[in-house]
């Protein structure tokens, strides 16, 4: 347990109905008694809401407020926690925070409440990370994954996998002292094999989980006037993702996030902010190149009403190293709108060809499904399939665990020395321990928790 008490504003900046100042630590109760005066005098009782006033050092009211005291260990951090809800304007909340700090609390660092919940053993590292994912989720599918992880399924699976490995490790470690004995490690092979299969099962869903959680980037490229901006708007109409605004980029591209089958997809349009008089640049080659940089998927747009020309080919070639979906737009103008023409280019990574009319929305659903399938490498999530590893950190640790478990199995088969086998097994166990936080260093905790906002 920590001996200092932290405090922060837990609600977002700006005006709102209420603003919450949260405290956690051994002095939370004493500080609350000093800064909050209940209407009906008497001590704060655990898990009861009290009405009253935040008061300054002289006892004069600062704001009307509600105060909740959650006594350790029945709180978010397992420490004494106090939440003071005052009016949600910048001044009442900040004055309340200042008052709490003056009374002995220290301003919390980003993620420090959640870090304490982790350090005090209320949640494991996967649940701490899931807290952030719940806050940042952009689609209901992403939210479902985060909430399942917050529920602890991944922590439990990883703990079970580690438990399976502990006995073989204890056995092998004991044998290191008796190297001359010719030992059959065979009896542990089934347990090791089962663990490896468990790790591989978790890894199998990780690519999909990460796409749902992190989203992906898709660049709309094509000659001017083929309908890129119209397609962007049509895709956004399917369902715009909930996003917090990101500071504008300086590039000649426009980015909007669409929710395509539960995946937050950043659609990058090459819309030039400034129109160019350079004839080459008028083709949008450089802007297409910019849009494609860092994109996971290319959406190559062609005008179905005219045969593709050299300008289309130049832009098509820019996409040859990306997974690409080819879009024949302006189907409404062609005579046989149901006929999807094949690709005019020998594209090495073409994943699909779709016909659309951006102005009416025809074909946009098909396009949306093609994009989500391309990003997931298969069908979208069915309902209830929320148990997917969704963080690159977890995937990388599982990958290391799998590699070393395979080495252990191979070594057992070849009869190498016991200490080598034990070494690989220890690495595998530690890799799994990094996921739940049972084996982590300070620097890893720092990188994880500084991604949080203050007050969480
Ligand atoms: P961009 O330069 O590639 O972004 O193309 P825009 O989206 O700005 O579209 C250029 C013009 O084509 C506009 O006048 C659009 O209304 C029109 N347009 C876009 N998509 C379609 C379509 O599917 N059918 C028809 N008939 N016109 C379209
Ligand atoms: Zn445009």
Q: Give 350 Cα–ligand 1 centroid separation in angstroms.
A: 23
Instruction: Give the confidence band of 10 by pLDDT, cuts at 50, 70, 90.
Output: very high
413-452 pLDDT, tens digit per residue, is: 787 777 788 889 999 999 999 999 987 777 778 888 888 8
- Give the residue, by CA position, lying nearest to ligand 1 atom 11: 225
- Give the span between the Cα atoms of 123 and 76, in whole angstroms: 9
454 C-alpha to center of ligand 2: Å? 39
Tally of CA atoms within 13 A in the half-sphere of 134 that contains its CB: 13
The annotated binding site for GTP is made up of: 225-230, 244-250, 269-272
pLDDT class of 252 with cuts at 50, 70, 90: low
pLDDT mean over 237-242: 62
Measured from the Cβ of residue 382, the count of other Cβ atoms closer than 10 Å reads: 6
Question: Is the confidence at residue 364, as pLDDT, over 90?
Answer: yes
Contact call for residues 304 and 330 (beta carbons, < 8 A): yes
**pLDDT at residue number 248:** 38
Please determine, for residue 259, whether its predicted confidence score (pLDDT) is greater than 70. Answer: yes
Question: What's residue 274's pLDDT?
Answer: 45
| Rounded Cα gap, residues 163 and 169, in angstroms | 10
- Taking the CA of residue 271 as reference, the ligand 1 atom at the shortest distance is 4
Sorting pLDDT into bands at 50, 70 and 90, what band is 391? very high
Over its C-alpha atoms, the chain yields an Rg (Å, rounded) of 28
Q: What would the pLDDT profile of 335-351 be if each residue is shown by its tens digit?
A: 776 677 889 999 999 99
State the binding site. Answer: 22, 83, 122, 225-230, 244-250, 269-272, 456
**DSSP H or E segment with residue 113:** helix 112-119
**358 C-beta closer than 6 A to ligand 1:** yes
What domains sit in the chain, N to C, each tagged with a CATH number? 6-108 (3.30.1360.120), 128-205+389-439 (1.20.120.430), 215-376 (3.40.50.300)
175 membership: H or E segment, kind and range: helix 153-176
Q: Is 352 in the pocket of ligand 1 (CB under 6 A)?
A: no
Ligand 1 pocket check for 280: Cβ under 6 Å: no
In terms of pLDDT, which residue wins out, 325 or 344? Answer: 325
Determine the average pLDDT of the residues in 397-402: 97
- Taking the model in full, what pTM does it have? 0.82
Return the pLDDT at 456. Answer: 82
Mean of pLDDT values over 27-40: 96
**Per-residue pLDDT for 241 more than 70?**
no
Residue-level pLDDT at 224? 86
How much is the pLDDT for 186?
72
252/131: higher pLDDT:
131
Separation of alpha carbons 22 and 5, rounded Å? 10
ipTM above 0.90, yes or no: yes
The pLDDT, as a whole number, for residue 420 is: 80
* Euclidean distance between CA atoms 255 and 368, whole angstroms: 17
Q: Is the pLDDT of residue 327 over 90?
A: yes
In the structure, what pLDDT confidence band is assigned to residue 290 with cuts at 50, 70 and 90?
confident
pLDDT at 209 over 80: yes
5 Cβ contact partners less than 8 Å away, ≥ 6 residues apart? 23, 24, 25, 26, 27, 28, 31, 104, 105, 106
Q: Which ligand is nearest to the CA of 283?
A: 1
- Asked if 265 and 375 count as a contact pair (C-beta separation under 8 A), the reply is yes
The residue ranking higher by pLDDT, 336 or 246, is 336
* Cβ neighbours for 35, distance < 8 A, ≥ 6 positions apart: 54, 55, 84, 96, 99, 100, 103
Phi-psi region of 183 (alpha: psi -120 to 50; beta: other; left: phi over 0): beta
Residue of the CA atom closest to atom 19 of ligand 1 = 227
Dist. CA 24 → ligand 2 center (Å): 51
pLDDT, residue 247, reads: 39
Locate the ligand 1 atom nearest the alpha carbon of residue 358 and give its number.
23
Average pLDDT over the chain reads: 88
Tally of helices (H runs) and strands (E runs) in the chain: 16, 13
**H or E element: which one contains 146?**
helix 140-150
Distance CA 367, CA 359 (A): 14
Strand partners, 51: 66
- List, for residues 69-99, the tens digit of each pLDDT value: 999 999 999 999 999 999 998 899 999 999 9
Q: How far is residue 217's CA from residue 228's CA, in Å, rounded to a whole number?
A: 15
CA dist 257 to 141, 322, 385, Å? Answer: 15, 20, 24
């Amino acid at each position: 347990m920590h001996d200092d008490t932290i405090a922060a504003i837990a609600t977002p900046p700006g005006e709102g109905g209420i603003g919450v100042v949260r405290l956690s630590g051994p002095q939370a109760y004493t500080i609350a008694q000093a800064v909050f005066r209940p209407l009906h005098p008497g001590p704060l009782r655990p898990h009861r809401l009290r009405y009253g006033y935040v008061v300054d050092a002289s006892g004069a009211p600062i704001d009307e407020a509600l105060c909740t005291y959650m006594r350790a260990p029945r709180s978010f951090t397992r420490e004494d926690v106090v939440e003071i809800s005052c009016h949600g304007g910048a001044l009442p909340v900040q004055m309340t925070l200042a008052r709490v700090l003056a009374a002995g609390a220290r301003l919390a660092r980003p993620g420090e409440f959640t870090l304490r919940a982790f350090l005090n053993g209320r949640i494991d590292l996967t649940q701490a990370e899931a807290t952030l994912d719940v806050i940042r989720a952009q689609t209901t599918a992403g939210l479902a994954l985060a909430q399942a992880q917050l529920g602890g399924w991944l922590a439990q699976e990883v703990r079970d996998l580690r438990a399976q490995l502990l006995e073989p490790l204890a056995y092998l470690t004991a044998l290191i002292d008796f190297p001359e004995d010719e030992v059959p490690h065979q009896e542990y092979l089934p347990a090791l094999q089962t663990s490896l299969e468990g790790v591989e099962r978790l890894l199998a869903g990780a690519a999909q989980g990460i796409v749902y959680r992190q989203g992906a980037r898709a660049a709309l490229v094509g000659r001017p006037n083929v309908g890129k901006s119209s397609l962007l708007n049509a895709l956004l109409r399917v369902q715009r993702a909930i996003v917090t605004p990101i500071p504008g980029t300086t590039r000649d591209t426009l980015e909007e996030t669409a929710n395509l089958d539960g995946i937050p997809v950043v659609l990058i349009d090459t819309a030039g902010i400034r129109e160019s008089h350079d004839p080459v640049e008028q083709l949008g080659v450089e802007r297409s190149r910019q849009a494609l940089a860092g994109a996971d998927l290319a959406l190559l747009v062609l005008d179905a009403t005219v045969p593709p020309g050299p300008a289309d080919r130049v832009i098509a070639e820019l996409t040859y190293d990306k997974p690409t979906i080819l879009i024949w737009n302006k189907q409404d103008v062609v005579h046989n709108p149901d006929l999807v023409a094949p690709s005019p280019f020998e594209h090495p990574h073409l994943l699909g060809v779709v016909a659309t009319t951006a102005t009416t929305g025809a074909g946009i659903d098909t396009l949306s499904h093609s994009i989500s399938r391309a990003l997931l490498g298969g069908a979208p999530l069915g309902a209830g399939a929320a148990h997917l590893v969704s963080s690159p950190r977890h995937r990388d640790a599982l990958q290391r665990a799998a590699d070393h478990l395979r080495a252990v199995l191979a070594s057992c088969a070849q009869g190498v020395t016991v200490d080598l086998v034990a070494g690989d097994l220890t690495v595998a166990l530690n890799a799994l321990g990094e996921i739940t936080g049972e084996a982590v260093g300070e620097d890893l905790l720092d990188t994880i928790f500084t991604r949080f906002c203050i007050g969480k």
